[in-house]
């Protein structure tokens, strides 16, 4: 708890315009993907096609999401495309 | 054949009506024949911004319902040669006009005018659809705030899905002092996020409020920064091949450097 408070006070002041720009980027990514789950579904299907060449996996369990997390610098929020692919077996490839 | 330009934004109060009035007056000062259409039915504003509110006889709804001929509804601005207004109806609502009626009207007007400039209402519903229906291109107005830029992004997407390609951005109400302190997004921040080109930047300027009080477009004020910004914007609209440098905006020396720092090398 004390740590949290100390960190809070130690944080260098971020220009409010950078906070604005960052929040805006996240909003817009949200707006574009929330409105069209089809985009995520298309990405999911493409990933399945590629992964299928290399590993055996549980198709129904394959999840693709966009997450928003505080970046390591603690100042910004970053958005990431996260795919969770439970692998059953790696296929034997090539030689 | 004239060109149809819609001035839109998504968010209200960012400066669509002010921009429509000034771009119209500016184009007419450049010798173009211009008609402005106020499509904000029920919330008519463009007439007062232009100081033409006492001259309205017929309005947009009368025109599309064919209660009068188009020519009868055109209010001529006496201060600007070849500038006309078709005002919005005040006592009807957006559903009184349809997109196909707007397309028909725009196609008729483009035979007689160099530019038809359409002032769009806020929102993304019927009024927006009417305003963009007949447009060839779009100017999206935003202020340097999160909510306005977010709405601009949404509008850019909608314009493109309606077949209006490459909308350009007009950034309004920039405050140099705040940008310099890092308390307002600058032009590069906004353009990077929206991934569009911009047609100009208008500073936040008291002169806009003064001139709106008088019903005179600020573009006529040769000393105001906002007026200069709108003069540059209209030149870019009228003469797209001409390269209009942004530095003309600042009166002298020291401030110029500052302006350059704030706006980067982008045009204002
Ligand atoms: N660059 C500016 N500087 C100062 N005030 C402005 C500026 N642009 C617009 N305004 C003021 O902001 C208000 C909203 O502008 P308006 O053009 O009516 O917006 P919209 O049509 O998008 O709703 C008006 O009172 C107008 O005078
Ligand atoms: Mg308006």
Report the alpha-carbon distance of residue B231 to residue B79 in Å, rounded: 16
E-state strands within chain B? 3-8, 34-38, 75-76, 83-86, 115-119, 137-142, 168-174, 198-203
What are the chain B neighbours of A32 within 8 Å (beta carbons)? Answer: 157
What are the chain B neighbours of A31 within 8 Å (beta carbons)? Answer: 150, 153-154
Size of interface A-B (CB pairs under 8 A): 36
Q: Give, in order, the Cα–Cα distances in Å from A14 to each of A79, B147, B175, B232.
A: 19, 20, 19, 34
Contact B182 A31 (CB under 8 A): no
Question: Looking at residue B253, what is its pLDDT?
Answer: 42
Identify the three-state secondary structure at position B168: strand
Q: Give, in order, the Cα–Cα distances in Å from B140 to each of B81, B171, B200.
A: 26, 8, 11
Question: Looking at residue B56, what is its pLDDT?
Answer: 96
List the single residue in A15, A23, A32 with the smallest CB-CB distance to B146: A23
**B104 closest CA partner among B70, B80, B73:** B70
**Ligand 1 site residues, Cβ closer than 6 angstroms:** B 9, 12-18, 45, 172-173, 202, 204-205, 208-209, 212, 226
Q: Is B264 on the interface with A (CB under 8 A)?
A: no
Phi, psi of B5 (to 5 degrees): -120, 130
Confidence of residue B261 (pLDDT cuts 50, 70, 90): very low
User: What are the residues whose beta carbon lies below 5 Å from ligand 2 (ion)?
Assistant: B 16-17, 45
Ligand 1 pocket test: pick from B7, B8, B18 the residue with the most ligand atoms within 8 Å of its Cβ: B18
CB–CB of B179/B187 below 8 Å? Answer: no
- Please say if the pLDDT value at position B40 is more than 60: yes
Q: Give kind and range of the element (H or E) at residue A80.
A: strand A77-84
Mean pLDDT for B1-16 is 97
CB–CB of B26/B233 below 8 Å? Answer: yes
Question: Looking at residue B145, what is its pLDDT?
Answer: 97
CA B217 and chain centroid, separation: 12
CB–CB of B170/B189 below 8 Å? Answer: no
Q: Is A80 on the interface with B (CB under 8 A)?
A: no
Domain ranges of chain A: 2-90
DSSP notation for B173-224: EE-HHHHHHT-S--HHHHHHHHT--EEEEEE--HHHHHHHHHT--GGG-TT-
Task: Count the alpha carbons within 13 Å of A49 in the hemisphere toward its beta carbon.
Answer: 6
Task: Count the alpha carbons within 13 Å of B113 in the hemisphere toward its beta carbon.
Answer: 28
CB–CB of A68/A26 below 8 Å? Answer: yes
> What number of other Cβ atoms are within 10 A of residue B88's Cβ?
27
B191-238 confidence digits (pLDDT tens): 999 999 999 999 999 999 999 999 999 999 999 999 999 999 999 999
List the single residue in A21, A31, A32 with the smallest CB-CB distance to B189: A21
Phi, psi of B10 (to 5 degrees): 85, -75
Q: Is A58 on the interface with B (CB under 8 A)?
A: no
B55-86 confidence digits (pLDDT tens): 999 999 999 999 999 999 999 999 999 999 99
- Please say if the pLDDT value at position A95 is more than 60: no
Ligand nearest to the CA of B46: 2
Contact B193 A23 (CB under 8 A): no
Locus of tokens 């309606």: B162
Ligand 1 center to residue B37 CA distance, Å? 18
On the 0-12 / 13-18 / 19+ scale of CB atoms within 10 A, A95 is exposed
Q: Is A59 on the interface with B (CB under 8 A)?
A: no
Nearest-Cα distance to chain B for A46, in Å, is 24
Kindly provide the ipTM of the predicted complex, given to two decimals. Answer: 0.80
The DSSP output letter for B166 is S
Q: What percent of chain A has pLDDT over 90?
A: 13
Average pLDDT score, chain A: 79
Domain B3-263 CATH class label: alpha beta
Q: Is B171 on the interface with A (CB under 8 A)?
A: no
Task: Count the alpha carbons within 13 Å of A91 in the hemisphere toward its beta carbon.
Answer: 10
Ligand 2 center to residue B247 CA distance, Å? 29
- CA angle centred on B145, ends B143 and B151, rounded to 5°: 80
Mean pLDDT for B39-52 is 97
Average pLDDT score, chain B: 92
Higher pLDDT, B31 or B264: B31
């Amino acid at each position: 708890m004390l740590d949290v408070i100390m960190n809070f006070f130690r944080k260098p002041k971020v220009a409010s315009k950078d906070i604005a720009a960052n929040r805006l980027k996240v909003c817009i990514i949200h707006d574009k993907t929330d409105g069209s789950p089809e985009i995520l579904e298309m990405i999911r299907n493409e990933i399945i096609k590629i992964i299928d060449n290399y590993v055996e996996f549980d198709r129904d369990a394959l999840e693709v999401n966009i997450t928003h997390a505080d970046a390591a610098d603690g100042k910004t929020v970053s958005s990431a495309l996260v795919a969770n692919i439970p692998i059953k077996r790696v296929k034997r490839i090539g030689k | 054949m004239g060109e149809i330009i819609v001035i839109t934004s998504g968010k209200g109060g960012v400066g669509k009506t002010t921009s429509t009035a000034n771009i119209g007056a500016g184009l007419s000062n450049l010798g173009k024949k211009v008609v402005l259409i106020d499509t904000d039915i029920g919330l008519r504003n463009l007439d007062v911004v232009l100081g033409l509110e006492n001259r309205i006889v017929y309005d947009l709804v009368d025109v599309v319902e064919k209660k009068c001929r188009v020519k009868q509804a055109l209010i001529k601005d006496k201060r600007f040669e070849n500038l006309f207004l078709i005002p919005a109806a005040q006592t009807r609502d957006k559903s009184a006009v349809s997109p196909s009626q707007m397309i028909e009207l725009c196609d008729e007007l483009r035979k007689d005018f160099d530019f038809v400039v359409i002032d769009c209402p806020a929102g993304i519903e019927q009024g927006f659809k009417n305003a963009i229906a007949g447009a060839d291109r779009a100017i999206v107005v935003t202020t340097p705030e999160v909510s306005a830029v977010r709405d601009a992004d949404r509008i850019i997407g909608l314009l493109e899905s309606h077949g209006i390609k490459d909308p350009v951005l007009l950034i309004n109400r920039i405050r140099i002092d705040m940008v310099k302190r890092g308390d307002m997004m600058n032009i590069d921040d906004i353009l990077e996020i929206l991934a569009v080109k911009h047609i100009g930047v208008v500073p936040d300027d008291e002169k806009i409020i003064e001139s709106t009080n008088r019903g005179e477009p600020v573009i006529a004020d040769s000393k105001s920064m906002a007026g200069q910004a709108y003069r540059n914007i209209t030149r870019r609209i009228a003469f797209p091949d001409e390269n209009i440098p942004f530095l003309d905006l600042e009166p002298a020396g020291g401030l110029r450097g500052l302006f350059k720092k704030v706006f980067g090398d982008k045009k204002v």
